[in-house]
Amino acid sequence: MEWQRNIKTLTTDELKAWLRDVDEKPYRADQIQKWLFCQQVRSYDEMVNISPALREKMAKQFTLCGLKEDQRSVSVDGTVKWLFQTEDGHHIETVMIPANGRYSVCVSTQVGCAMNCAFCRTAKMGFTRNLEAGEILEEIINVNWYLKDNGFMNEEGGVAQVTNIIFMGMGEPLNNLENVHRVCCTLHNQKLFNMGAKRMTVSTSGVVPKIKELVDRNTPCCLAVSLNSTNNEYRSSVMPVNKTWPIEKLLEAVDEYIRRTDNYVTFEFVLIQNITCTPKAAKELIRICAPRRVKVNAIVLNDGDDPTLHAPTPEEVEDFLAAVRAAEIQITIRNPRGRDILAACGQLAYKKEGKEC
C-alpha cells in the first residue's frame, strides 16, 4: 500500500532541500518545524505565517497526522494506553505513565517485532515494518495533545508536556536505529523539544553491533539492556537474541558503551520465582554488576501468560533486593502500572491485528 511520507520524519536539512526543489525559501524550514514541534499543530492551516500555496504543496506531498487514535484506556492509577492506527492500517501501542510531576511515555518503534522473546505478546505478531521517525514523534505529540486537552498542569502551573521517553514499547528500537536516532535528535534539538539526553532511554534486548553503532552515531540518549537472566542457557531459551550474542558479548558491548560515553547503563531484570529471583541469581547479578557503572531496574513478573512461571513472594523479592544492595549495587523495583488496561507491551495491538488471545 502506498502512503505519503510523514513531514515530521524530515531533518531540517532535508526539509530545506525539499523547499528548494519546490522553489520556496529554505529558511521556511525553521518556521515549519516550529509549527510541527513547538506549537504541535493539528493541521497545515494553523501555520498562519506560511503562505497558503506552500501549505498546499506540503499537504500534497506529506502527511501531517499519520496516526489515528483507535482506542484510549485510562487506568485507575492514571496510566493511559493508546492504540493507534497507522496510515497503512496497522496498530501500535503507546503508554503514558504519570508519576511525581513527570509524564513518561513508552513508545513503540516497530509494527510487531522479530526478536521473538518468549514472554512477549508483541513477539507473537511477528515483524511487519519499522515505524518512521515522524510516526514515533507523533506518539509523543498525541500524548501532549491529551495532556493539554485534559488540563494537566506542570509544577510551574503551565500546560504539562511529556518529560521522559522510553523506547521500550512494541519493537526492538536498535533494529530501527536510523529512525530512533532521528527522533532523539529532534527531541534533543534546543530549538524544538529541548529535551535532555538523560530523559530519553533506548532499551534493547541485546543487539550487540547496534549498541556500538549507537555510540558511533552519538545518539543523544541513555541505554537500557533487558538482561533478565545471568545464565546463558536460560536467557537463550527465553530471548533468542542470546544465541547470537551471549551474555559475554553483550557485556563487552556494554563496557565499550560505558567507556566511550561515560554514561551509566540500566539492566532491566525480571524477577521470576525459583528462576531469576534466587540467592544464586542475586550472587551472579552482583558478579556482573560490581565492576561496572550500571543500575538495575527489577520488575516482578506479571503473573498470567505462562502457567509455568510465577511471580516471587514479597519476602523473596525483599531478600533478593537486600542481597544486591548489600553489595552496594543500585537496584530499584518497578511497580507494574496500568494492569487493569492491559498496559503491558503488545496486548491490545495483538488483539486488534486479528490474533485474539
Q: Which residues of this chain interact with ligand SF4, rule CB under 6 A?
A: 113, 115-117, 120, 122-123, 170-172, 205, 345
Q: In this complex, which beta carbon is closest to ligand SF4, that of residue 79 or of residue 122?
A: 122
For 146-166, b where at least 16 C-beta lie within 10 A, e where not — what string? Answer: bbeeeebeeeeeeebbbbbbb
Q: Closest separation between CB of residue 348 and ligand SF4, Å?
A: 14
Told to judge if 69 belongs to the known catalytic residues of this protein, a careful annotator would answer no
Q: In this complex, which beta carbon is closest to ligand SF4, that of residue 63 or of residue 297?
A: 297
Q: In this complex, which beta carbon is closest to ligand SF4, that of residue 146 or of residue 167?
A: 167
Told to judge if 256 belongs to the known catalytic residues of this protein, a careful annotator would answer no
Q: Closest separation between CB of residue 306 and ligand SF4, Å?
A: 14
Residues β-bridged to residue 98: 103
Please name the helix (run of DSSP H) or strand (run of DSSP E) that holds residue 18, with its range, or none: helix 12-21
Q: In this complex, which beta carbon is closest to ligand SF4, that of residue 63 or of residue 338?
A: 338
Pairing of strands 110-112, 127-130: antiparallel
Q: Which of 93, 138, 172, 353 is catalytic?
A: 93
Residue type, 210: K
Cα(340)–Cα(32) distance, integer angstroms: 40
Q: Closest separation between CB of residue 171 and ligand SF4, Å?
A: 6
Q: What is the distance in angstroms between the CA of the first residue and the CA of the last residue of the chain?
A: 27
Q: Closest separation between CB of residue 25 and ligand SF4, Å?
A: 43
Q: In this complex, which beta carbon is closest to ligand SF4, that of residue 202 or of residue 286?
A: 202
Cα(263)–Cα(254) distance, integer angstroms: 10
Give the residue ranges of DSSP H helices in 158-207. Answer: 177-188
Grid cell for residue 242 = 542470546
Which residues 6+ apart lie within 8 Å of 268 measured at CB?
203, 224, 225, 226, 227, 228, 297, 299
Closest alpha carbon to 239 in 226, 252, 249: 226
CA angle at residue 63 from 60 to 67, to 5 degrees?
155
Q: Closest separation between CB of residue 108 and ligand SF4, Å?
A: 8
Q: Compute the chain's Rg from CA coordinates.
A: 21
188 within 8 A of 127, measured Cβ to Cβ: no
Grid cell for residue 60 = 500534497
Q: Which of 106, 117, 221, 345 is catalytic?
A: 345
For 192-218, b where at least 16 C-beta lie within 10 A, e where not — what string? Answer: bbebebebbbbbbbbbbebbeebbeee
232 within 8 A of 242, measured Cβ to Cβ: yes
Q: Closest separation between CB of residue 180 and ligand SF4, Å?
A: 13
Q: Closest separation between CB of residue 206 and ligand SF4, Å?
A: 9
- Residue 121's Cα: distance from chain center in Å? 16
Cα(131)–Cα(140) distance, integer angstroms: 13
Catalytic residue list: 93, 345
